[in-house]
Amino acid sequence: MSMLKFRFVLLGLGLCLVGLTISCNSNKPTSDQDVFRYNTHENINTLDPAFARDLRSIWAMNQIFNGLVRLDDQLNIQPDIASSWEILDQGRTYRFTLRNDVYFHESDALFGDLKTRRVIAQDFVYSFERLQDPKLASPGLWTLEHVSNYEAVNDSVFVIKLKKPFSPFLGVLSMKYLSVLPKELKHAHQYPVGIKPIGTGPFYLKAWMPNLKMVLRKNSNYFESDQNGNPLPYLEAVSISFVPDKQSEFLLFLQGKLDLLNSLDVSYKDELLNKKGQLQDRYKNKYQLLRSPFLNTEYIGIYMDAEIPEVKSRALRQALNYAIDREEMIQFLKNNIGYPADQGFVPKGLNAKMNVTGYRYDPEKAMELIKEFKKNHNNKTPELTLSTDANYVDLCTYLQHAYEKVGVKLHIEVMPPAALRQAKTNGKTALFRASWVADYPDPENYLLPFHSANFTPNGPNYTHFSDAEFDREYTNIVQTTDAKLRNHKMTYLDQMLIEEAPFIILYYDEALRFVQPKVQGMTINPINMLDLRKVYKD
């Protein structure tokens, strides 16, 4: 038996087991209409929110856990367990009032005969302390780096004090790292949080077969209702499979065995979409296509400390940006998935209120600037080497041809991903392919990689861009709570980056979801978060 056939036998067995799991111990009959099914290509390693660092885990955790606040699809801060909050002391103190109807998932091991209890402020104290425990070594420790202390004033009031004002703080609090856990875990040292999570979300973990299936069941004690007073969630269960092969996943979706296809692999990209980025005619009436800007800026980083004249010349760096036809690049390389990066480094989804003038395709301007470079440096043929991994060779080859047209010779160096990361970190490559995905949804996060205090290897400033005025204004932005003033300053700094060009900006990414027609209530957002509270199958 081939490995692929063996996996499908296992998957079929898994589906049977899932059906039995969902049906058992339930007073309500569960049919396919009540179950939402999706796939992730790698096994989920943990459901501990302290390790919510990859999208596949975050999607599952978002169904299981809640925090103080959450984001809506427009990335606005909304109440979650906190019903309201005040920002005091010029942005240094956050005072949260908690809902009184939020209960943990049932657990005999933690709550005994009571099975559950109401969430109180002391649970947030424990959850934050746990995240900061050096023994845990959570990758989310940085989310509390601006916090000086926190306390439970009483069961319903939780107060956080910052070292100094940090305007994006509410956005940081929406991250799954800062989900609430029951304080009983403090004394339950052997409790496997990552395997048997106890949260407050719309679903709880029912079954988990590593590398095969995960099943979440409806939390009948969930605290939210829809606008008509109907309790959420609508679904009875969520079934997550772990099929690693993307073509196999695509086949399962075509067969109706998956309700959602979140990826678009090159092997079937042209099968689903035409060159305009629209569903092929044969699929238009079969599936829903949901699209949203995704908070990711793709770019070529320029290591500003490289001792070569091509890097030191602002004129040449600008020319490299003017020489690219981004619309053509996206159409032919990405089937029109994404948006030309014709504004600043801050991507679509966050830059709506910013007015930054970026680079448009202008080969004449590029050649004019290159001519200036040649004259100033007595250099007849500018040459650069671009380092990339194998996944982006097509993109880099496109750039190579574009630069050849304007008189710049570009060499392409293909590296393993780990070697490329090391070379970027240690300044061993003049040009490198890179992307910046938001840690939290605030334009400030896209300016952070250019602050001189963040030089690699101690921070994410891979370009080693350094400017005293930029650093000073960035510090002011972080501490400014006035939204209008923040926007003005962020626009100014993003425009500065465009003019100094420590990068070749390429495109802003886009999130796509292919959904079965019977699925209703599915939305999409710029952080590509999966929210199944209001999803149902018609």
pLDDT (tens digit, 9 = 90+) per residue, 378-398? 988 999 999 999 999 999 999
Cβ-based neighbour number of residue 129 at 10 Å: 14
| Predicted pLDDT at 4 | 44
Q: How far apart are alpha carbons 436 and 166 in whole angstroms? A: 21
Burial class (CB in 10 A: 0-12, 13-18, 19+), 345: buried
Burial 293-323 (b: 16+ CB within 10 A, else e): bbbbbbbbbbbbebeeebbebebbbbbbbbb
C-alpha to C-alpha distances, 315 to 326, 369, 393, nearest whole angstrom: 20, 5, 26
**CATH 3.10.105.10 placement within the chain:** 296-510
Name the least confident of 27-36, 64-73, 272-281, 522-531: 27-36
For the chain, the distance separating the N- and C-terminal CA atoms, rounded to the nearest angstrom, is: 38
pTM of the model: 0.89
What homologous superfamily is domain 32-254+516-537 in, according to CATH? Periplasmic binding protein-like II (3.40.190.10)
Q: How far is CA 356 from the centre of its chain?
A: 23
Instruction: Calculate mean pLDDT across residues 245-255.
Output: 95
3-state secondary structure of 174: coil
pLDDT reading at 356 higher than 80:
yes
Q: 410: which strand partners?
A: 384
Report the helix count and the strand count for the chain, using DSSP H and E. 15, 19
Q: How far apart are alpha carbons 247 and 266 in whole angstroms? A: 10
Nearest to 131 by CA among 167, 76, 85, 172: 172
| Predicted pLDDT at 275 | 86
Residue 178 near residue 141, CB atoms below 8 Å: no
Enter the CATH code of domain 296-510: 3.10.105.10
**CATH 3.40.190.10 placement within the chain:** 32-254+516-537
pLDDT reading at 284 higher than 60:
yes
Name the least confident of 97-101, 201-205, 438-442: 438-442
Residues 250, 253, 258, 261, CA torsion sign = positive
| Predicted pLDDT at 58 | 97
3-state secondary structure of 502: coil
Residue 178 near residue 131, CB atoms below 8 Å: yes
pLDDT reading at 24 higher than 90:
no
| Predicted pLDDT at 21 | 53
Instruction: Calculate mean pLDDT across residues 121-149.
Output: 97
3-state secondary structure of 512: strand
Higher-pLDDT residue of 161, 190: 161
